[in-house]
Structure 1
Amino acid sequence: MVNVAPELVQGGARLQLLRGRLWIWVRGRLWLQVVAGLVLGVAVGVLLGPGLALVPRDLAAIIGEWLAVPGAIFLGLIAMVLVPLVLVSIIQGLTGTPDSAALRQTGFRFAIFVVATTALAAIVGIWLAVELRPGSYVDLGAIATDGTVSPGSAGTVPRRAPELIANLIPSNPAKAITEHDMLAIVVLAVLTGIACRQANPARVGSFLRFLDGLLEVAMTIVRWAMFLAPWAVFGLMARLVSQVGIATVAGMAVYVLAVLAGLILLLALYLVLVAIMARQSPWTFLKAIGSVQLLAFSTSSSAAVMPVSMQTAVAGLGVPQNLAGVVIPLGATVNMAGTALYQAVAVVFLAQMSGVALSPAEYGVIVATLVVSSIGAPGTPGVSIVILANIVGDFGIPSAGLVLILGVDRILDMARTVVNVTGDLAACVVLSALQSPAADEDRADRQPEAGEESPGS
């Protein structure tokens, strides 16, 4: 019989106890599981990436695709319930508010919030790009180009506005739903909700009860998806880093710095609004939404995390269900201040790199264009590049530099999605605080009990 030293036995017991306590602590905190998935995903991506060259590129690509399978399943589950969730949430939010005046006031305040923060974000982006001059660090001559200008529809805001307004009404709702045209779906839901408010309650009651059941089914599927969230983040990050490498942003460091600095300033603005207007600690707010931010970072999609954002707004931040049901879906479609800031920096960057001088008046038109373009932009990865290509064409800026932006767009897309989602949740908290005292009591009732874990904790 082998004698084991008592010190080793005690050490093993302590290690086992520590592992048990650590598992209990991690198991109840989704945000910590997501952080672990994020860190491990980056580490695995570095090992598979081109920098270390430990694995042949073909094999690394295959491994990356397999690692991303949980992420694909997670996004598929969310996409499956996204359209019914948007429709039901907005309709219930509109019909669940008995005070029509309060509903109109909330809508007006949200519109002001979106336009003001988006315009301010675009202005900050232009200011940072003008001050840091990221375009002066890149030589456009090193890029193969025929001097052409990216295709853009002539005429910017004034000539686009009538077409934009005319296209707001979804003439074919079935097409809008099957194509996931989020702006058309939001308009359809708003019109349906208003119609339900004005219709005979006895006749629309069964329809609204059906929506209650549909929402419960959708949220159950969302809860299933959340079990996959840490694995989804791990796989998506591992594949991304293995494809692009950590050093991808090195050649565009000043441009990346300008965008990230602007996004940090915009994030700080949201925290200030939460602290001043909602009288809530910024730290408490960030702690509640941590897992949502991490999911937004890994998926690069405001729409993909919208169900989780709604759950966090109600359970983690104490926002009334009817308010969150309207603001979060609308915000995922129209509240894109982070995207506007990114595009402002990118437009000025491309102009500087191409030697195109922009006047103060043109900067003003850029701000207006970005506000209009950002509102209604789909909250899915890569869409902002398409919008950006259209905008630079309007100002006669060559499109050759877009290839450089594409190289770092995925990483910056992840960062600005975090800010966009944070803006949606900040709007929920601020608008909830500005509601009537009755709504404030409802909000207090929905705050988590001491020791209760919210989805973002």
Structure 2
Amino acid sequence: MATTKTRKLGLTSKILLGMVTGIALGLLLRNLFPESDFIKEYMTDGFLNVIGTIFISGLKMLVVPLVFISLVCGTCSLSEPSKLGRLGGKTIAFYLFTTAIALCMAILIAIVIHPGNASLVAEGMHFDVRQAPSLSQVIINIVPTNPIRAMSEGNMLQIIIFAVIFGFAISHIGERGKRVVALFEDLNEVIMRVVTLIMQLAPYGVFALMAKLALTLGLEDFRSVIQYFFVVLLVLLIHGFVVYPTLLKVFSGLSPITFIRKMRDVQLFAFSTASSNATLPVTIETAEHRLGVHNKVASFTLPLGATINMDGTAIMQGVATVFIAQVFGIDLSITDYAMVVITATLASIGTAGVPGVGLIMLAMVLNQVGLPVEGIALIIGVDRLLDMVRTAVNVTGDTVATIVIAKSENEFNEEVFNSPIAGHPAKSFQEQIHVHDKDK
């Protein structure tokens, strides 16, 4: 008698199922009960909001301890100052390089397609924006005056600096330092296990987030900025699925197809949460155990990337600048466009990896070239959806840079990267970790 083996759904399939069913439920409720106070109070702002918020909070709960502990572990293994400086230099240079590429491509495509229409300008447009920090203030704020406060506030740049200094000091105090390193390595294993537990809840959290989004997204907002939306989306897709895989192939020689296949979970998490920081635990987990990057590199480059590598945000800023200039009938010179590239590239360093913060930095870019900040009001309606896509692009760029730098530092396990077992979506993360540990 033949037995039928039932194939369990993998994490990627479950997340996709959660996304599709969530959107379907949201659209169904929206069409059946368009003005229902009950649906708004008990579903949109009640059940779905609670489940989605708990899921996001669970991910954010891990960010600070994960970044601090894993970065201390990574820095402890880099006892040579020259190696730490070389790693940091390569990382920042690669991130700024890809950001500049993203901006130039965004501006060029926006100029060619010309999404802006002067007839879109509405009377009384207004956008209240918080004061964007100056570049000098961003640099000053890198060094924490109170590391504990930086951790409580989630100030990633300050946490990174303190963790690097702390780990570097541990690696230079001899035998006592080795005992502290062992403690942090044990803590790192505990945090990684918590990550696997939180990720088991991902399909339910994604379902709630997508259902709420489908219930609240104003589709009428698409009409006035539909061209802007699709231009940004086009550039994001080109950057995520053409530029990054090309850079991966050129600088590492690895298969872009294998990389994209193994990045699906991370991209779906990023798309669902619209937050690079909230996705960071999943990104680190995938880079180490599915892509073969050693912890000493991943724990340094990925938290840094979630803080300063905002290619998706830079693309939005580039297209939005051209779009707003076209809407208001303002001609920008080559010098203005060059200033946009420079300002937006540097502004990406100060852009936090949380939803919606790109609009604040866009205000700084617009001011730099003399464009009306009020134009931001035109794109608010679709920014949330684009924010989700550009976050997926951001984490993809973080991981490409991490692989390239790890390979250049000989801190990369190519067997894990190419292993169909380590990258198989039907396998649990515990099984993937076991495979990775055997390969070490």
Contact 1:143/1:400 (<8 A) preserved: no
Of 199, 202, 206, which aligns to 1:226?
199
Contact 2:79/2:168 (<8 A) preserved: no
Q: Indicate how the Cα distance of structure 1 residues 82 and 149 shifts in structure 2: closer, same or farther if over 3 A, else same.
A: closer
Contact 1:46/1:246 (<8 A) preserved: no
The separation in 1 between residues aligned to 2:354 and 2:135, in whole angstroms, is 23
**1:415 paired to 2:389:** yes
- Where do 1:316-335 residues align within 5 Å? 316-335=290-309
CA drift of 1:212 comes to: 2.0
The separation in 1 between residues aligned to 2:376 and 2:356, in whole angstroms, is 13
Structure 1 equivalent of residue 44 of structure 2: 64
CA drift of 1:310 comes to: 0.6
- Where do 1:367-406 residues align within 5 Å? 367-406=341-380
Structure 2 equivalent of residue 257 of structure 1: 230
Larger CA deviation: 293-302 vs 52-61 = 52-61
Of 32, 42, 58, which aligns to 1:77?
58
Structure 1 equivalent of residue 431 of structure 2: none
CA drift of 1:118 comes to: 0.7
Of 104, 125, 136, which aligns to 1:145?
125
CA drift of 1:445 comes to: 5.5
Stretches of structure 2 that go unaligned for 5 or more consecutive residues are 428-440
CA drift of 1:207 comes to: 2.7
Q: Indicate how the Cα distance of structure 1 residues 345 and 33 shifts in structure 2: closer, same or farther if over 3 A, else same.
A: same
Contact 1:85/1:307 (<8 A) preserved: yes
Contact 2:339/2:369 (<8 A) preserved: no
CA drift of 1:181 comes to: 1.2
Equivalent AA in structure 2 for residue 59 of structure 1: F
Q: Deviations over 1:41-91 (max 9, x none)?
A: 111121123xx2535342332312312433222211222221111111112
Structure 2 equivalent of residue 121 of structure 1: 102
TM-score (norm 1): 0.86
CA drift of 1:243 comes to: 0.4
Contact 1:343/1:370 (<8 A) preserved: yes
* Percent of residue pairs identical: 35
Q: Deviations over 1:168-193 (max 9, x none)?
A: 21112122111111121112222222
Q: Indicate how the Cα distance of structure 1 residues 383 and 444 shifts in structure 2: closer, same or farther if over 3 A, else same.
A: same
Q: Indicate how the Cα distance of structure 1 residues 257 and 138 shifts in structure 2: closer, same or farther if over 3 A, else same.
A: farther
Structure 1 equivalent of residue 113 of structure 2: 132
Q: Indicate how the Cα distance of structure 1 residues 449 and 363 shifts in structure 2: closer, same or farther if over 3 A, else same.
A: closer
Contact 1:152/1:393 (<8 A) preserved: no
**1:311 paired to 2:311:** no
CA drift of 1:223 comes to: 1.4
Contact 1:294/1:418 (<8 A) preserved: yes
Of 401, 414, 439, which aligns to 1:444?
414
Contact 1:60/1:242 (<8 A) preserved: no
Contact 1:92/1:193 (<8 A) preserved: yes
The separation in 1 between residues aligned to 2:329 and 2:128, in whole angstroms, is 14
The number of aligned residues is 423
TM-score (norm 2): 0.89
The separation in 1 between residues aligned to 2:426 and 2:248, in whole angstroms, is 17
**1:240 paired to 2:204:** no
Q: Indicate how the Cα distance of structure 1 residues 92 and 291 shifts in structure 2: closer, same or farther if over 3 A, else same.
A: same
Structure 2 equivalent of residue 4 of structure 1: none
Stretches of structure 1 that go unaligned for 5 or more consecutive residues are 1-13
Structure 2 equivalent of residue 200 of structure 1: 173
Of 332, 348, 355, which aligns to 2:322?
348
**1:90 paired to 2:60:** no
Structure 2 equivalent of residue 171 of structure 1: 145
Structure 1 equivalent of residue 437 of structure 2: none
Equivalent AA in structure 2 for residue 358 of structure 1: L
The separation in 1 between residues aligned to 2:420 and 2:276, in whole angstroms, is 30
Match of 1:304, SS state, is helix
Contact 1:332/1:379 (<8 A) preserved: yes
The separation in 2 between residues aligned to 1:217 and 1:101, in whole angstroms, is 30
Q: Deviations over 1:245-303 (max 9, x none)?
A: 55642431110111111112211111111122222221111111101100100100000
Match of 1:317, SS state, is coil
The separation in 2 between residues aligned to 1:456 and 1:250, in whole angstroms, is 41
Q: Indicate how the Cα distance of structure 1 residues 455 and 332 shifts in structure 2: closer, same or farther if over 3 A, else same.
A: farther
Q: Indicate how the Cα distance of structure 1 residues 283 and 351 shifts in structure 2: closer, same or farther if over 3 A, else same.
A: same
CA drift of 1:209 comes to: 2.7
Q: Indicate how the Cα distance of structure 1 residues 63 and 152 shifts in structure 2: closer, same or farther if over 3 A, else same.
A: closer
CA drift of 1:196 comes to: 2.7
- Where do 1:13-28 residues align within 5 Å? 21=6, 24-26=7-9
Q: Indicate how the Cα distance of structure 1 residues 242 and 336 shifts in structure 2: closer, same or farther if over 3 A, else same.
A: same
The separation in 1 between residues aligned to 2:166 and 2:351, in whole angstroms, is 22
Contact 1:102/1:435 (<8 A) preserved: no
Larger CA deviation: 208-217 vs 416-425 = 208-217
Match of 2:124, SS state, is coil
CA drift of 1:312 comes to: 0.4
CA drift of 1:138 comes to: 4.8
The separation in 2 between residues aligned to 1:183 and 1:173, in whole angstroms, is 11
Match of 1:164, SS state, is helix
What do you get for the CA RMSD once the two structures are aligned?
2.5
Equivalent AA in structure 1 for residue 116 of structure 2: G
Equivalent AA in structure 1 for residue 114 of structure 2: R
Match of 1:417, SS state, is helix
Q: Indicate how the Cα distance of structure 1 residues 44 and 319 shifts in structure 2: closer, same or farther if over 3 A, else same.
A: same
Q: Indicate how the Cα distance of structure 1 residues 393 and 37 shifts in structure 2: closer, same or farther if over 3 A, else same.
A: same
**Greater Rg, structure 1 or structure 2?**
1
The separation in 1 between residues aligned to 2:261 and 2:119, in whole angstroms, is 39
**1:337 paired to 2:311:** yes
Equivalent AA in structure 2 for residue 145 of structure 1: M
Equivalent AA in structure 2 for residue 444 of structure 1: E
